[in-house]
Amino acid sequence: MLTSKQRAYLKSIACNENTILMIGKNNVNQNVLKQADDALNAREIIKGKVLETASFDVKEISNQISESLDSDVVQVIGNKFVLYRKNKLLNKIKLPKENKAN
């Protein structure tokens, strides 16, 4: 689970990323999940777009991909979404630490 500070940091990174995942009339299938999984392993953060031909809305699709790939939905704006998953072997993105009380 991301904190609001971590989410804001990831949003700032995502604004410079290209949209690499397109979801259309076939919705979320094994090919889309494989492509997203490979991209998350390589980049840790990806931006996707849900086309008008998709049967579901962007929130449903981003949540479905997120749950399937054990990633976090960073943001959903319009028909675009951003996903993040930490790469345990090669961590490229250093997230801000949580503020700890006491």
User: Per-residue pLDDT tens for 42-86?
Assistant: 999 999 999 999 999 999 999 999 999 999 999 999 999 999 999
The string of DSSP codes covering 73-99 is EEEEETTEEEEE---SSS----PPPPP
- The token duo for 42 is 């390589």
Q: How far is CA 56 from the centre of its chain?
A: 17
One-letter identity of residue 56: F
Report which of 77, 82, 74, 85 is spatially closest to residue 40, judged by C-alpha positions.
85
Domains of the chain, CATH where assigned: 4-84 (3.30.110.60)
C-alpha span between 54 and 11 (Å, rounded): 25
What is the model's pTM?
0.91
